[in-house]
Structure 1
Amino acid sequence: MDSPGSSVSTRTTRTNPFAGPDHVLIRDLNILGRVPVILDHHTSTYYAWKTYFSLVFREYNLRDHSAGSVDSRFMVNDDEWMTINATLIRWFYTTISKDLFHTVVSAEDDAHAVWTKINGLFTDNKHQRKDFLHGEFFACQQHDSSIDDYCMHLKKLSDELRDLGEKASNELLLSTLTAGLNDAFGNGASNLALITDPTFLKDEDGAH
């Protein structure tokens, strides 16, 4: 049984706002539960992937590792730091496609280098990425998918475009949504006239 003094010491350490992240907690974290998407060049998952990871970095105080604000070359003798660094690299490799993995993998990289490489693949080639997303967005059709899946796909594409500096307006989302509806929802467009100040979210709910 711990002495009263040791108990107080433990509580103080855990509530210390300047304490670093717990390397055991980080190592054992189920990242697929926190980042439930696989990043791929051929799908519109980059915005979601980056957003989920950004939340994990904030929640677990990991921004020094991802942002490179601490040079890992000076931390090689800090076992806890290196454990967290290796864990982040494993997380990145686990949540990307095999093609992306083979593109970015390097035994010499720290977590910041891997994070920068992966993001660079989607932000450095903005023009090509925009062309791809524009084609996907304006050609989007419901076909046999559910209305929920169709609306979600459009929203994902608009999020990706917004991340590249091109925000799809509410009017554009509405017109693209209604233009791509299949025959079963053909009356959806005419029903918009019955909605006061229609928005993409209202239209999505009204299509059910």
Structure 2
Amino acid sequence: MPRPRLLPPPKLLPSALERNAALARAAATEKEAQTAALELDAAAARARDALARAVQERSAAGAPADGDDEDDLSDHASDHNDNTDLHQALLLQEAAAIANLLSQAVAVQNIRNLVTVVLDLNAGNFNRWRDQFLLIVGKYSLQHHVMQDLPAHGFPDWQRMDCVVKSWILCTISDDLAATISARNSTARDTWRAVESQIFNNRETRALLLDAKLCNFVQGDLSITDYCKELKHMVDTLGDLGEVVTERTLILNLIRGLNERFKTVDMHLRRGRPFPMFLDAKANLLLEELTMENTSSSQSTAERS
């Protein structure tokens, strides 16, 4: 019998290869970072032991002397030693706390459980992603890895934690964006700046076009929920591009684009003093929309009867 032919393995597209490579590098950095957990735990234990010894030494230094008469120089030297011991104890306590935080950061298995927003160039969610990400790195005292332009340190602990932060960035952005900005031997700060460059690329032109779209946007057949959601999305995207839209401008665009069904609420919002906030205006419009739907349903029921 003829031997069956083996089919060649399917070929991956270049984009798929880049994506798999980026995910593999992210997984490798996470695995490398986890190896630091034991070292960080040992460092925390040594710091706690040193803190305990410092407290004992400070207690011994504060014991009363046998003689009753001490000159001013001895008193000053004793006070200085006490202050130095206290300062060293506080530094050791802070070092132990930071070592504990770094150990917890390394132990994070899935960063998306903490940073729930996945950054996408087309989603207009940069501000939300940035706020959540900075909140998490600040929680673990790692914000300097993304916010400060410092030269890469040669210390193994610093490099491992930089790998952790870099892997967090790559794991909380879209696959296309990760494949675009991922680069070997780059730091977390380099990766963070690459993300910002993609977001702010040609932002003047993008802001100009989006501002024109906002000014000409009308409700049409959209519900109040969808209409307000689209308006807020455009405003947030403009904020990402550096063009902050004020609350008053947002309300003016909201009122201007309403269809004729909301003419009564339109006049009420225009005459409001002080000018209503966006959430208050949306709530009034939703109430009016619900009232109109109930009225229409009642009329239809009466006509069928």
TM-score interval, smaller chain:
0.7 to 0.9
Once residues 171 and 23 of structure 1 are traced to their aligned partners in structure 2, the CA distance between those partners, rounded to angstroms, is 44
The answer to whether structure 1 residue 200 and structure 2 residue 273 are counterparts is: no
Once residues 13 and 117 of structure 1 are traced to their aligned partners in structure 2, the CA distance between those partners, rounded to angstroms, is 35
Flag the structure with higher helix content: 2
Structure-1 residue corresponding to 2:106:
27
The answer to whether structure 1 residue 65 and structure 2 residue 145 are counterparts is: yes
2:242 to 158, 165, 168: 165
Cα offset, 1:130, TM superposition = 1.1
Cα offset, 1:104, TM superposition = 0.4
After TM superposition, the score normalised by the length of structure 1 is: 0.75
Q: Which amino acid aligns with 2:161?
A: I
1:16 to 91, 94, 109: 94
1:29-178 equivalent positions in 2, closer than 5 A: 29=108, 30-72=110-152, 74-75=153-154, 77-78=155-156, 80-134=157-211, 137-138=214-215, 140=217, 143-144=221-222, 147=225, 150-178=227-255
Q: Name whichever of 95-104 and 113-122 sits farther off.
A: 95-104
1:207 counterpart SS class: helix
1:119 counterpart SS class: helix
Structure 1 gaps, min length 5: none
Cα offset, 1:52, TM superposition = 1.8
Identity, in percent, stands at 25
Alpha-carbon deviations, 1:156-203, whole Å to 9, x = none? 432332343322233321122234456775654234146432232321
Q: Name whichever of 81-90 and 159-168 sits farther off.
A: 159-168
Once residues 107 and 268 of structure 2 are traced to their aligned partners in structure 1, the CA distance between those partners, rounded to angstroms, is 50
After TM superposition, the score normalised by the length of structure 2 is: 0.54
Contact residue 89 and residue 110 of structure 1 kept, 8 A: yes
Q: Which amino acid aligns with 2:105?
A: I
Contact residue 130 and residue 164 of structure 1 kept, 8 A: yes
Contact residue 23 and residue 84 of structure 1 kept, 8 A: yes
Structure 2 gaps, min length 5: 1-44, 53-88, 287-305
Contact residue 181 and residue 191 of structure 2 kept, 8 A: yes
1:127 counterpart SS class: helix
Cα offset, 1:34, TM superposition = 3.1
Once residues 133 and 112 of structure 1 are traced to their aligned partners in structure 2, the CA distance between those partners, rounded to angstroms, is 29
Structure-1 residue corresponding to 2:25:
none
Once residues 210 and 107 of structure 2 are traced to their aligned partners in structure 1, the CA distance between those partners, rounded to angstroms, is 36
